[in-house]
Structure 1
């Protein structure tokens, strides 16, 4: 990577012309045709009477996998278009078309599930023992088991159809509200209009007066849009709760746990061990307040740097550093990162009009990925870049697997990304040139642990309690603010002096319809990857093949089985979680030691 890197991604190599792309319209048309064919084939399918009677089923499964790849590719393209320009209305329309096609596909699979349920158990096991079904045994068996817990096929199909303009429609409304928002701030004596993403970056500005001012304007802007956000959130939750009620599901955690292929026991033990270890992170927050000359940190101080002046890192230097550190553990990972940088798979340019946050999305039909973020040169930006490259590498090592086994859950999706982030963060700390830089980098690491153990815990507590209250009716803006602050106080052990009441409105994750409770999987992934990282430190480059083998299995087993097979640990017991948390505790203690004088 000798020539300066381009910081905008290349989408034209996938579908030229952006949201006006004729190639993409044709692609959607092909998906629709294949979907209609799939529906017709499923309607004619009879339950096999023996494992020799599977020709029709094989044809259906192959077609279903092909459509799944294309739908993922189409959804990713629209997602990228909307992210790079929040005012691209054509992209919103295309998104609606993709959601409709996805609903039709889901309906077809629901019909297929009903046929699978009618297959005799002995015949079913015999089918799964033979190729091509043996390679798909886990996802197919999972579909069959889940179908037993759902409504009859015609009612599930109706729910999928209604969700396009109902359930998913409320999520789209939220995106529209955010795309219209601007944050009016005064900077350098001038009035400036920031996008939500740009304003969010200012909340971690080295200057506290800037943070305080932007936070005030941030609060005012979200308060102004709170009624719209509350409508969306209430109706999203209402849809889910009614569907759960008709399916006979009691717990609001059932769906996210099923999606993440983990048990309630594992989730409970993870949070218990975290709560038992929060003391030292409270000490860290108190020490940081003292260093900043404050009695207590406010919400907007938690992720602020300790120094007024913050060293920035150029995009090219960040790319080179990331590649070098990846290479210490996995040359394949480093080579992949170089390919992503040089082939413009990354959208990093700092400009208005982009949506906030960062993500990695897959184009599995083209065996490519794309990474989205806004790079401003901070240590946090470097960590985000490494994080998203970890996601991309995860998909890369699965590209040759059957499509149905590529769909890994969000909790293990965060494993590769956080592993990559840990590699780079640790390396940056070791390369620190002086005490001040070492302290800043160490603090950045502890900040991330606080985010996973406290910020995300607050999201989990809020969402759990909100759903319980939503069962009784619409929850008002005022009450949403109250639940949010109560959750933040509990999660942060009341260590802050000021909280973020509108966090429920500003956090996109509460409005994502693909995965409810889009929070605890992050913490799981952080700790799971910490355990993997500890193993990698012991084994060095020799760990590469084991690591790739673990990633390739993430779409075809429960997480408890994955951990047992590749790490030899029991996730339902506290031992593994404590060993993973110990790495973060060591960082927090090192910070306290470094700032003790």
Structure 2
């Protein structure tokens, strides 16, 4: 029997035929606009005299809410895919503006909707929530009501939404345009060429240090040429956000992010405290890696370097089969989902010029399908990224039967499913290693991930919190951004590197995302939280998959503290859970040091 051959290019025509010139997509945008107008009228005409009448109206409005949400997200997902697969697609950039406009209109209508939610007395509100037709949505509806209570008047919030289209969100889109114009010079046996930032970033996992060093120098120079533009972009994004916070009376710049992550500040602080207390083993790992690479101290461009001279490369087909084989050891549902993603061309992984850097997962709710984007060149890191994004996909797949409003999980728990998928692969790979050299390389790849999530992400968090504090007093210069980044990296890496990446603030997309502020700590939370879940899965074997799916289904309808208490019986505000999780990372370091001594 011949195995299925998996395509490395995704299928977008199944949604809207014709790409950015699709007439179907234009028609969909027009239909969405009509749905928005209808929803707007329904919210505007919400009138009731009895609690029962209000319940009936609310049920109907929630159906419309669900329909419009699906339509807007379908369009947003499609445009994200168009922009990512070809950064030179100017038509896709125009479509992004249309979708952003519809999304802003939707948010304005929701401001009116939320205003109605806060108009009820607490007694009437509790009566509404007790109705069995609304019981499943009690958490998300109360969350909307509470958040609305903390915002400005509906007129002011609607004004913010409308101004954000050509202000806030446009600055976010500016980043994409700037990145699209960046090309990194690279020379190999085929001669001089220009790489996209996505292609160039893959070179940092080359076994040849000179290649990594040269790419890094050109990388810094290329980003440096655009630094002033990027500095202005970042400053305006932060300025808009801070002004909104100021008007709402929010002094804490992390308030919005913590609320979005359904997470307390105490949990966040406890997590970072524990990580900071356990940095030394990671520093010891970096020292050992430097010895193995024959250098006195690692530089930024050595962090992803493989140990030894041989690079393990797997074709896309081999990588897919590798993932499916190891997912199967965990559970049938996860394997079934991944197989469907490969067979139905849900993944764009081709290594070609013109693509956006990085990787992402997006969901098309009207079609019930996911799409995954990355640039695959066969490295262990690429396979890890692919598993990571499939983890995101499985999360949405696990929640497919829930009400749309109960599927809006936060960033931190979103990263739980993705890092969990990575760990299945990493652990299985280490255990199945055929030689000591292979085991060392795979274990090192695993420790690399801990360095990325406990040090790199920490540096992003330290940089961003300090930058926002300084931005409150005015524009922060390019030179100062470099200084802040350098300070943050030195602290986060415990002075463990020889050379750092001061322009990281310019090259990292996450600092420029307008939909999600402070998209840094959720990665670390997700990593350590998933370690806790993973240890349970190891204990219980294949039988744990049902419990895992039950946990994923709850991720959008309770706080992370309640989620952890219900499914893991732990208190996230205490050190115990975080120490146990970090110690699993430390154990990998100890194994690595023992194997390489």
TM-score by length of 1: 0.99
SS in structure 2 at match of 1:329: coil
CA distance in 2, matches of 1:172, 1:318: 33
User: 1:522 corresponds to which residue?
Assistant: 523
Deviations 1:519-574 (A, max 9, x none): 00000000000000000000001101100000001111100000001111100001
User: 1:48: Cα distance to partner?
Assistant: 5.9
User: 2:348 corresponds to which residue?
Assistant: 347
CA distance in 2, matches of 1:540, 1:379: 25
User: 1:285 corresponds to which residue?
Assistant: 286
User: 1:540 corresponds to which residue?
Assistant: 541
User: 2:161 corresponds to which residue?
Assistant: 160
Name the CA shift for 1:151/1:526 in 2 (closer, same or farther; >3 Å). same
User: 1:51: Cα distance to partner?
Assistant: 3.6
Q: How does 1:93-104 map to 2 (within 5 A)?
A: 93-104=94-105
User: 2:28 corresponds to which residue?
Assistant: 27
- 1:488 maps onto 2:498 in alignment: no
Q: How does 1:105-124 map to 2 (within 5 A)?
A: 105-124=106-125
User: 2:42 corresponds to which residue?
Assistant: 41
Deviations 1:133-188 (A, max 9, x none): 21111111100000111000000000000001100000111110001111112222
User: 1:497 corresponds to which residue?
Assistant: 498
SS in structure 1 at match of 2:329: helix
- 1:62 maps onto 2:60 in alignment: no
Name the CA shift for 1:268/1:48 in 2 (closer, same or farther; >3 Å). farther
| CA RMSD, Structure 1 to Structure 2 (Å) | 1.0
User: 2:90 corresponds to which residue?
Assistant: 89
User: 1:255 corresponds to which residue?
Assistant: 256
CA distance in 2, matches of 1:164, 1:399: 31
Task: Tell me whether 233-242 or 329-338 shows the greater mean CA deviation.
Answer: 329-338
CA distance in 1, matches of 2:54, 2:561: 34
CA contact (8 A) 1:312 1:379 kept: yes
User: 1:47: Cα distance to partner?
Assistant: 6.1
SS in structure 1 at match of 2:54: coil
User: 1:52: Cα distance to partner?
Assistant: 4.7
CA distance in 2, matches of 1:131, 1:81: 42
Q: How does 1:67-86 map to 2 (within 5 A)?
A: 67-86=68-87
CA distance in 2, matches of 1:29, 1:92: 18
CA contact (8 A) 1:51 1:126 kept: no
CA distance in 1, matches of 2:260, 2:133: 24
TM-score by length of 2: 0.99
Q: How does 1:130-141 map to 2 (within 5 A)?
A: 130-141=131-142
Deviations 1:432-478 (A, max 9, x none): 11111111100000000000000000000000000011011100110
User: 1:53: Cα distance to partner?
Assistant: 3.5
User: 2:309 corresponds to which residue?
Assistant: 308
CA distance in 1, matches of 2:245, 2:121: 28
User: 1:241 corresponds to which residue?
Assistant: 242
User: 2:150 corresponds to which residue?
Assistant: 149
Deviations 1:74-127 (A, max 9, x none): 100000000000111111111111110000000001011111111121111111
CA distance in 2, matches of 1:76, 1:269: 35
- 1:421 maps onto 2:413 in alignment: no
CA distance in 2, matches of 1:57, 1:13: 34
CA distance in 2, matches of 1:540, 1:252: 42
SS in structure 1 at match of 2:498: strand
User: 1:331 corresponds to which residue?
Assistant: 332
CA distance in 1, matches of 2:320, 2:214: 33
Deviations 1:400-453 (A, max 9, x none): 111111100010001111111100111111111111111110000000000000
SS in structure 2 at match of 1:193: strand
User: 1:513 corresponds to which residue?
Assistant: 514
Flag structure 2 segments of 5+ consecutive residues without an equivalent: none
User: 1:564 corresponds to which residue?
Assistant: 565
Flag structure 1 segments of 5+ consecutive residues without an equivalent: none
CA distance in 2, matches of 1:352, 1:178: 13
CA distance in 1, matches of 2:158, 2:186: 47
Name the CA shift for 1:155/1:497 in 2 (closer, same or farther; >3 Å). same
CA distance in 2, matches of 1:30, 1:560: 40
CA distance in 2, matches of 1:338, 1:515: 30
Name the CA shift for 1:117/1:37 in 2 (closer, same or farther; >3 Å). same
SS in structure 2 at match of 1:203: helix
SS in structure 2 at match of 1:53: helix
Alignment coverage as a number of residue pairs? 596
CA distance in 2, matches of 1:47, 1:586: 61
User: 1:189: Cα distance to partner?
Assistant: 6.7
CA contact (8 A) 1:49 1:119 kept: no
- 1:448 maps onto 2:449 in alignment: yes
CA distance in 2, matches of 1:26, 1:303: 45
CA contact (8 A) 1:49 1:123 kept: no
CA contact (8 A) 2:205 2:379 kept: no
SS in structure 1 at match of 2:383: helix
CA distance in 1, matches of 2:322, 2:507: 32
CA contact (8 A) 1:51 1:124 kept: no
